[in-house]
Amino acid sequence: MGKPEERRRFVEQVRKASQIAQKLSELGIRPYGIVRIDSATDPASWANDPEGSKKIASTFRECCQIAEDHGERLAAEGEICWGGMHSWKRMVELLELVDRPQTLGFQADMAHTLLYTMGYNAPEDSILPQGFDWKDARKVQEALKTLTNALRPWTLDFHVAQNDASVKGSGSHDKTGRHCLPDDPNGKLNIARDAGYWLRDDQGRLTKALQHICWDGCMFPNDVMLQPQTWNSILGAMISVREAYGWEEQA
């Protein structure tokens, strides 16, 4: 949503990413995937521009055409640090403004989207009340149902993750989700259960909208990543999600 030259540079980066993704697919080493994008602006800048979401949508539509020209799809990263994407309501609004559901969808990360329910950076869009007691599992599940019912129809990329309901970050990633390991005692999500709100529809049926899921561990230090138990924990969480919501294609 910046100046014309800034928006041009943004679109050019999406063009480069789409070209690389297309080439990897043609080489046979990338059978599935998306190109991830975000608004490249912060919530404060967005709040100071009444036309912010419309400008972002216009830029995203240009990116959609580029992606289509290369046989690719785009996923808007659902993090509270991105202006115009910083709350679940604003995210839905932006996706509707772009209105290219076959090309632009939503990237749901369980750690980041939990913060949508809390109204970080957008208290007016909070689902959970202020001072909420996390021991009230029923309210957590109700909030996740509200969130996923709104964003699930747009979701085409999914990250299994854990969050302790706090934020971290600096610079352009100020106030974004704090990832925890699956067995962190402060984690607020029941990973296997809560993944289902994204992977099943409101009738409990598998959506089968995703061919691939992944774990997001971008915020762990190297010494944690070098511990075998880290990977045992992560793989255990991934397998629990696959066993609950995966399926075998019939020959």
Q: Tell me: the pLDDT tens digits for 207-237?
A: 999 988 899 766 788 899 999 999 999 999 9
Contacts 24+ apart (CB under 8 A), 126-131: 127/88
Contacts 24+ apart (CB under 8 A), 183-188: 183/233, 187/162, 187/163, 188/114, 188/134, 188/140, 188/162, 188/163, 188/164
pLDDT-wise least confident of 57-61, 130-134, 151-155: 130-134
The answer, yes or no, to whether residue 175 has pLDDT greater than 80, is: no
pLDDT given for residue 191 in this prediction: 96
The answer, yes or no, to whether residue 251 has pLDDT greater than 50, is: no
The answer, yes or no, to whether residue 172 has pLDDT greater than 60, is: no
**Average pLDDT score over residue span 167-195:** 84
Q: Would strands 155-160 and 162-168 be described as parallel, antiparallel, or unpaired? A: unpaired
Helix (H) or strand (E) holding 146: helix 137-151
Percent of the chain with pLDDT over 70: 96
Average pLDDT over the chain, rounded to whole?
A: 93
The answer, yes or no, to whether residue 250 has pLDDT greater than 60, is: no
List CB contacts of 80: < 8 A, sequence separation 6 or more.
43, 86, 87, 112, 115, 116, 120, 121, 122, 167, 175, 176, 177
List CB contacts of 249: < 8 A, sequence separation 6 or more.
none
Helix (H, G, I), strand (E, B) or coil at 123: helix
The answer, yes or no, to whether residue 93 has pLDDT greater than 80, is: yes
Q: Tell me: the pLDDT tens digits for 47-63?
A: 999 999 999 999 999 99
The answer, yes or no, to whether residue 159 has pLDDT greater than 90, is: yes
Q: Could you tell me if residue 208 is left (phi over 0), alpha (psi between -120 and 50 degrees) or otherwise beta?
A: left
Q: Biggest alpha carbon distance in the chain? A: 54
**Average pLDDT score over residue span 79-87:** 94
Distance of alpha carbon 242 from alpha carbon 247, whole angstroms = 8
- CATH topology for the 4-245 domain: TIM Barrel (3.20.20)
pTM of the shown model: 0.93
**Average pLDDT score over residue span 171-192:** 84
Distance of alpha carbon 15 from alpha carbon 219, whole angstroms = 27
CA-to-CA dists, residue 53 to 1, 26, 96, 200, 217, angstroms? 8, 34, 11, 29, 29
Q: How confident is the model at residue 249 (pLDDT cuts 50, 70, 90)?
A: low
The answer, yes or no, to whether residue 104 has pLDDT greater than 60, is: yes
Residue 20 CB neighbour total at 10 angstroms: 14
- The residue among 177 and 251 whose pLDDT is bigger is 177
Q: How confident is the model at residue 2 (pLDDT cuts 50, 70, 90)?
A: confident
35 within 8 A of 74, measured Cβ to Cβ = yes
Tokens of 12: 């050019």
Tokens of 170: 């600096």
Tokens of 100: 């290219």
The residue type of 246 is G
